[in-house]
Amino acid sequence: MTGTVVVGTQWGDEGKGKIIDYLAERADVVARFQGGANAGHTVIVGGETYKFHLLPSGVLRPGTLNVVGNGVVVDPEQLLAEVDALRGRGHAVANLRVSDRAHVVMPYHKTLDPLEEALKGGLKAGTTGRGIGPAYEDKVGRTGIRVGDLLEPETLRGKLDTIVPMKNKIIAALGGLETHLPNDLFRQATQWGERLREFVADTSALLDERFRAGARVLFEGAQGTHLCIDHGIYPFGTSSNCVAGAASTGTGVGPRQLTEILGVVKAYTSRVGTGPFPAELLGPLGDRLREKGQEYGTTTGRARRVGWLDLVMVRYAARVNGLTGLAVTRLDVLGGMPELRVCTAYRHGGKTLREFPASMRVLAECEPVLQEFPPWPAWDGKGWREAAAKGLKALPADLREYVAFLARESGVPLAILSVGAGREDTLDLRGN
């Protein structure tokens, strides 16, 4: 019985989807615990590319149970579209369970998201527009619709009759022109309920049952530590807890079940949206890295900002998540860079900061302390795959020094190295 949590250590887009897919091979259950359709995971299997926003990444493996936990905000339209798309490609999707306690992203949340953003001025986070913030606001404000409500017409009707007029007032006050009608939403939501019925379950009880039977459970984090509502760059992050502890609250599994906590570190840094980014790489070198890494959002298609690996961020993530291992991704992308640097600390007001500051004002004033590293060669995908098959020693010595430095500095041992998008391009150093 193991509970492995996979979280991002940076600003999301660390390549968690690929690591999860790799680990899912040996997992009996994959569970998502936070976020919603703001996430975008790309999984490449047998040359086929799959993009998921809500479905857990183990869904392509028929023998793996996939759980959407209570901590996730579920957009039923998006979830059903992903199920339909997979079924259209010949996957049965019989292995999916959605928590009856998960909150629903309603159409009015998607109306409110851009309206709120438009009025936020300097507080704008550059959201994905998927209604995530407004859905979590309703959850905390106790005006949310839960997945279980979709299966209880009377409950749903009562809630919508109360909540929708409130939302219409807010939409109008924010300058929105759309009016949502309780009748239409009721019809739509009961249809979602009918289609989702086969998947809805008490997933906490289901996970408990599986743990008792000795299952290996993989908890799939979305976004990343520095987007977390508590530990991230408030107010520029997302609206959920993205750290390992949320795997417990977001699935209804006790924290003692979380036995392995893997932090995914992209070999460099990227972020979408606004806010300070001390190790940001601008100019031709940044453009080159963005192109080589194809750093464009899975959900929004937006070009991501890129920068050097930032160890202040990774050390912080190691602490707040209690990481037991690092999974370093996209090492191949750095191959052939004309120069290579790592941000080891920040300089602020004549002082050296080793801890990530809470204040966005301070963070915006931070200058990166950069250490140079010798770059390793550019190989084609085949070169990396052949090296991965032979093991760590076949990788370039400069790359090995780079990742050893990362492990030393963060105080977390290396667990997995990834040198390409495919399952084959993965070195598992955990010795199990």
Question: What are the residues binding ligand IMP (CB under 6 A)?
Answer: 11-13, 38-40, 125-128, 130, 132-133, 222-223, 227, 236-239, 272-273
- C-alpha–C-alpha distance, residues 135 and 266, integer Å: 29
Closer to ligand IMP at the Cβ: 17 or 375?
Answer: 17
Residue whose CB is less far from ligand IMP, 302 or 430:
302
> Can you give 190-209 as a three-state secondary structure string?
HHHHHHHCCCEECHHHHHHH
Residue found by looking up tokens 């979602």 in the block: 192
DSSP 397-416: HHHHHHHHHHHHHHT--EEE
Angle at 409 between CA 408 and CA 415, to 5 degrees: 55
CA distance 17 to 46: 15
The active-site residue out of 41, 103, 109, 231 is: 41
Least separation in angstroms between CB 41 and ligand IMP: 8
- Write the DSSP symbol of residue 419: -
Return d(Cα 253, Cα 247) in angstroms, integer. 8
Whether 13 is catalytic is yes
The CA distance from 326 to 292, in Å, is 23
Do the Cβ atoms of 109 and 123 come closer than 8 Å?
no
Place of tokens 């579209």: 81
Its sign, for the CA torsion 171, 172, 175, 176, is positive
* Residue with smaller CB distance to ligand IMP, 39 or 369: 39
Tell me the closest approach of the beta carbon of residue 177 to ligand IMP, in angstroms: 22
Instruction: Please state the three-class secondary structure of 285-350 as a single string.
Output: HHHHHHHHCCCECCCCCCECEEECEEHHHHHHHHHHHCCCEEEEECCCCCCCCCCEEEEEEEEECC
Joined together, the tokens standing for residue 391 give: 């093991």
Pair of tokens at residue 181 = 């009608």
CB nearer to ligand IMP: pick between 132 and 416? 132
Closest CB to ligand IMP among residues 38, 321: 38
- On the question of a cis peptide bond just before residue 235, with omega within 30 degrees of 0, the verdict is yes
Q: Residue number with the shortest CB distance to ligand IMP?
A: 273
| Contact present, 10 and 227 (Cβ < 8 Å) | no
Measure Cα distances from 364 to 123, 292, 312, 342, 347 in Å: 14, 27, 14, 18, 11
DSSP 256: G
Cβ closest to ligand IMP, residue 125 vs residue 206: 125
Q: Minimum Å distance from CB 133 to ligand IMP?
A: 5
CB nearer ligand IMP, residue 132 or residue 160: 132
CA distance 310 to 295: 17
Q: Which of 13, 100, 332, 425 is catalytic?
A: 13
41 is catalytic: yes
* Active site residues per annotation: 13, 41
